[in-house]
Amino acid sequence: MTAKNNSTALRTHLCGEMHAEKIGQKVTLCGWVGRRREHGEHLAFLDLRDYSGIVQCVVDNSVDVRSEWVIRVTGTVQARPTGTVNENIPTGKVELVDCKIEVLNNAEPPPFPIDQRGDDVDENVRLKYRYLDIRRERMQKNLRLRAAVNSAIRKSMESQGFTEIETPLLMPSTPEGAREFLVPSRNEPGSFYALPQSPQLWKQLLMVAGIDRYYQIAKCLRDEDLRADRQYEFMQLDAEMSFVNKDDVMTMISTAVIAAAKAATGSEPPPIERMTWHEAMNDYGIDKPDLRFAMKLVELTKVFASTEFKAFASAESIKAICVRGADYPLQAASGRNKLDALTERAKKLGAKGLVWIKVADGSVLESPVAKFLSAKEQADLIAQTKATVGDLILIVADQWATTCSVLGQLRNDLGRPPVHEGPYRYVWIVDFPMFVGINPTTNKPQPGHHPFCHPHQEDVDRLETEPLSVRALAYDLVLNGWELGSGSIRIHEPELQRRVFRQLGISDEDADARFGFFLQPFKYGAPPHGGFAFGIDRLVAILAGEDNIREVIAFPKTQSGSDPMTNAPTTVDAAQLKELGIRLLPPAIK
């Protein structure tokens, strides 16, 4: 964790290096004054703190140093007297005595405690004084863990033959997908650069350029609303490689992710399992399944194939989740109010309704609809769900996609633990559909991923005839229900790319106008290639035991996109706007 030699002109060691083997040595340490414990005229204990830890200094109580003052202490390392060892800190067996104190800087009292109690402070206050928040052990640990992850990824990628190449931050606007941040051009008033949502276009051009294996730990920017797992700006491991299939890509990315996880946690996760998109939707109702808990979707369509119950009679797909009373006693015992709320939730998510059934003593089904279900249906229901007394069964009957997604969301609502809780469950989701549904206004298929994904070779022929049945050579990496990243084999054949664009309602002329600079190069010998990108902030947050990426970012934005410390974003003066040829509209009146 520390460099071999931490001595500088001002210090000989770090606080955290003060262990028993240093006893007898004269050392000089620099750091901040943590806590001060006074014991009469000629004795006080100071906790001296730097990033490596704290060490106790025994000083004369006449020394005037206070909370967070920056001091330089020269003293002798001594074993603590019998009975005064502190087992709770790594340096607890020793202390510094005969201390000479030099004040390097004094300090106002900090607005919040620079210790674990800072965790409970309003996050807005922490962000306003982020430089003090980062002094705390938690943030020091998180940022250094992040650095270790970055380093492990770089080592892994380089050892696998990848070349690190930086790509531009200022690029043309390509207004597909996420909203872009725009940067006005001074030399060409009225024209704008866009900041990259990802280096996608650049890295594919690097494949045309014969780089073969590219990677970059790249900053990406998206002007979309923020969340616990989303910031305007975020870091991605961005990679692309030539002459590969999807297994090559997933193998190499898995190697880097496993190396990062090992660097962060000290233990290597098992090989990353795979699941098709259809399996994920069918069994978990979501394309980023959280495998840490069961409550899988149970197939019931055949059970109710000839039911008298109207709500089930004509449904394409009937599925259930079983909330085990043994695992989720509160949720399974939900009263009428909670069950009504669940029903409302299901309707909001697109279901026509939600059927709830409680399994009471003697396996009697308690439900408003129990009387509509035959004895065989009830028995089969119990058999399929393996429900026992005290369990709650939630059933949705609808089109397949709706049934799955509604139950998948309810499953997460009811059973999902905080994202950082172990165990870590990585999973590759493969065989995503090329298109997801039809856009009602344009009557064209909607892209599942970006439009450069290569269709599955077996499905290319159905691109025009049955577009919704076409699988893409696309894959996502999921950890504990968070999408870490996604990738695909790209289209390298210009004609196939045009066919895909046409399916999306983008004419050849439109494609040339919007992506010409990108498509033109593919005429000059683009190799087959594919790649991947995954979010470093998300991976680090989970590995650091945090459920919010702000905790692993030095200077994050709030949920409304502002920075309480710098007050960004701010207005700019008229001269700056004039130079850019920009005139502001009056504020909208509500």
Partner RNA sequence: GGUCCCGUGGUGAAGUUGGAGUUCACGCCGCCCUGUCAAGGCGGAGGUCGCGGGUUCAAGUCCCGUCGGGACCGCCA
- What's the CA gap between 355 and 150, in Å, rounded? 48
Task: State which residue, 43 or 572, has the beta carbon closest to RNA.
Answer: 43
Task: State which residue, 52 or 156, has the beta carbon closest to RNA.
Answer: 52
Task: State which residue, 161 or 417, has the beta carbon closest to RNA.
Answer: 417
How is residue 269 written in tokens?
């996760």
Q: Are strands 426-430 and 474-479 parallel, antiparallel or unpaired?
A: antiparallel
| Residue 292 DSSP code | T
Nearest one of 471, 487, 429 to 274, comparing CA atoms: 429
CB 381 within 8 A of CB 373: yes
Nearest one of 557, 588, 584 to 571, comparing CA atoms: 584
> Closest approach of Cβ 115 to RNA, in Å?
6
- What's the CA gap between 247 and 249, in Å, rounded? 5
Task: State which residue, 154 or 492, has the beta carbon closest to RNA.
Answer: 492
Class of residue 480 by CB neighbours under 10 A (exposed 0-12, middle 13-18, buried 19+): buried
> Closest approach of Cβ 127 to RNA, in Å?
7
- What's the CA gap between 289 and 429, in Å, rounded? 9
> Closest approach of Cβ 542 to RNA, in Å?
13
Task: State which residue, 427 or 500, has the beta carbon closest to RNA.
Answer: 500
Give CA torsion, residues 484, 420, 285, 440, to 10 deg.
Answer: -50
> Closest approach of Cβ 319 to RNA, in Å?
19
Site for RNA, rule CB under 7 A: 35, 37-43, 45, 47, 56, 58, 61, 66-67, 80-81, 83-86, 88-89, 92, 95, 97, 109, 111-113, 115-117, 120-125, 176-179, 197-198, 200, 222, 224-230, 446-451, 548, 550, 558-560, 562, 564, 590
b/e map 345-371, b = 16+ CB within 10 Å: ebeebebeebbbbbbeeeeebebebee
Task: State which residue, 63 or 379, has the beta carbon closest to RNA.
Answer: 63
Question: Where does 490-546 show beta strands of DSSP type E?
Answer: 529-535
CA 428 to chain centre: 15
b/e map 11-21, b = 16+ CB within 10 Å: bbbbbbbbeee
> Closest approach of Cβ 372 to RNA, in Å?
31
Taking 3-state DSSP, the helix, strand and coil percentages for the chain, each rounded to the nearest 5, stand at 30, 25, 45
| C-alpha distances out from residue 353 to 297, 305, 335, 402, 427, Å | 17, 19, 18, 11, 31
> Closest approach of Cβ 405 to RNA, in Å?
9
> Closest approach of Cβ 109 to RNA, in Å?
4
- What's the CA gap between 504 and 493, in Å, rounded? 17
Task: State which residue, 62 or 187, has the beta carbon closest to RNA.
Answer: 62
Task: State which residue, 4 or 42, has the beta carbon closest to RNA.
Answer: 42
> If DSSP codes are grouped into helix, strand and coil, which group holds residue 248?
helix
> Closest approach of Cβ 308 to RNA, in Å?
34
Task: State which residue, 341 or 383, has the beta carbon closest to RNA.
Answer: 341
| C-alpha distances out from residue 18 to 6, 45, 49, 147, 239, Å | 12, 16, 12, 24, 42
- What's the CA gap between 575 and 353, in Å, rounded? 58
> Closest approach of Cβ 367 to RNA, in Å?
27
Task: State which residue, 269 or 350, has the beta carbon closest to RNA.
Answer: 350
- The residues, ordered by sequence, that sit 6+ positions from 486 with a Cβ below 8 Å of its Cβ are 449, 474, 475, 476, 477, 532, 533, 534
> Closest approach of Cβ 349 to RNA, in Å?
8
> Closest approach of Cβ 43 to RNA, in Å?
4
> Closest approach of Cβ 404 to RNA, in Å?
14
CB 38 within 8 A of CB 66: no
Task: State which residue, 124 or 159, has the beta carbon closest to RNA.
Answer: 124
> Closest approach of Cβ 87 to RNA, in Å?
9
> Closest approach of Cβ 52 to RNA, in Å?
16
Task: State which residue, 227 or 352, has the beta carbon closest to RNA.
Answer: 227
Task: State which residue, 362 or 440, has the beta carbon closest to RNA.
Answer: 440
Task: State which residue, 388 or 566, has the beta carbon closest to RNA.
Answer: 566
- The residues, ordered by sequence, that sit 6+ positions from 242 with a Cβ below 8 Å of its Cβ are 207, 210, 211, 212, 213, 527, 528, 529
CA triple 313-318-321, angle to 5 deg: 140
Task: State which residue, 97 or 217, has the beta carbon closest to RNA.
Answer: 97
b/e map 275-309, b = 16+ CB within 10 Å: bebbebbbbbbbbbbbbbbebbbbebeebbeebeb
CB 259 within 8 A of CB 153: yes
How is residue 291 written in tokens?
């495998």
> Closest approach of Cβ 238 to RNA, in Å?
11
